[in-house]
Amino acid sequence: MQDQYFKSYEDLEVHRLMLEDEPRTNTYREAICNASNLFKGKVVMDVGAGTGILSLFCAKAGAKKVYAVEASSLAMVLPEIVEANNFSQVIEVIHGKVEEIILDTKVDIIVSEWMGFYLLHESMLESVLYARDKYLVPGGLLFPNRARLYAAPCSLQDLWLKKRSYWTESKYEFDLSPLLLLASQQSAPEIATIPTEGLLSDPQLLWDLDLNTVSQSGLQSFSDRRFFSVESEGPFHGIGLWFTCSFPPAGEGEDPPELSTAPWDEETHWKQTVILLPTEGKLEEGDILGWELNLEKDKDSRAYRIEFNVLDDDEPHGIPCSCGSAKCEIIKHFLNNPNRDSEIPDGNQGGDGDVGEANIAEDNS
Catalytic residues: 113, 122
CB 181 within 8 A of CB 128: no
CB 293 within 8 A of CB 359: no
The reply on whether position 312 binds a second copy by CB under 8 A is no
- Cα 165 from Cα 331, distance rounded (Å): 41
The reply on whether position 29 binds a second copy by CB under 8 A is yes
The reply on whether position 166 binds a second copy by CB under 8 A is yes
CB of 35 to a second copy, least distance (A): 16
The reply on whether position 181 binds a second copy by CB under 8 A is yes
CB of 89 to a second copy, least distance (A): 16
CB 222 within 8 A of CB 363: yes
Three-state SS for 85-120 is CCCCCCEEEEECCCCCCCCCCCEEEEECCCCEECEC
What DSSP state is assigned to residue 346? S
234 Ramachandran zone, left/alpha/beta (phi>0; psi -120 to 50)? left
Binding mask 315-344 for a second copy (x = CB under 8 A): ------------------------------
Of 9, 21, 24, 25, which one interacts with a second copy (CB under 8 A)? 25
The reply on whether position 3 binds a second copy by CB under 8 A is no
Of 74, 129, 151, 211, which one interacts with a second copy (CB under 8 A)? 74
The reply on whether position 176 binds a second copy by CB under 8 A is yes
Task: Tell me how many degrees the CA angle 216-129-207 measures, rounded to the nearest 5.
Answer: 60
- Cα 205 from Cα 196, distance rounded (Å): 17
CB of 317 to a second copy, least distance (A): 36
Of 7, 40, 106, 171, which one interacts with a second copy (CB under 8 A)? 171
In the chain, which ranges are E strands? 43-47, 65-70, 91-95, 107-111, 136-143, 146-154, 190-192, 204-210, 221-229, 234-246, 258-260, 272-283, 288-297, 304-310
CB 131 within 8 A of CB 96: no
Looking only at residues 34 through 73 of this chain, which bind a second copy when binding is defined by CB under 8 A?
A: 51-53, 56-57
The reply on whether position 186 binds a second copy by CB under 8 A is yes
Of 4, 41, 102, 174, which one interacts with a second copy (CB under 8 A)? 174
The reply on whether position 179 binds a second copy by CB under 8 A is yes
CB of 81 to a second copy, least distance (A): 5
Closest CA to 162 of 263, 231, 234, 238: 238
Backbone angles phi, psi at 361, to 5 degrees: -60, -40
The reply on whether position 161 binds a second copy by CB under 8 A is no
Closest CA to 344 of 323, 325, 318, 315: 318
The reply on whether position 273 binds a second copy by CB under 8 A is no
The stretch among 135-143, 158-166, 316-324, 337-345 that binds a second copy (CB under 8 A) is 158-166
The reply on whether position 11 binds a second copy by CB under 8 A is yes
Task: Tell me how many degrees the CA angle 278-281-287 measures, rounded to the nearest 5.
Answer: 140
CB of 155 to a second copy, least distance (A): 21
Of 6, 15, 191, 332, which one interacts with a second copy (CB under 8 A)? 15
- Closest CB to a second copy among residues 137, 179: 179
Binding footprint of a second copy on the chain (CB under 8 A): 11-13, 15-16, 19, 25-26, 29, 51-53, 56-57, 74, 77, 80-81, 84-85, 162-163, 166-167, 171-172, 174-179, 181-183, 186
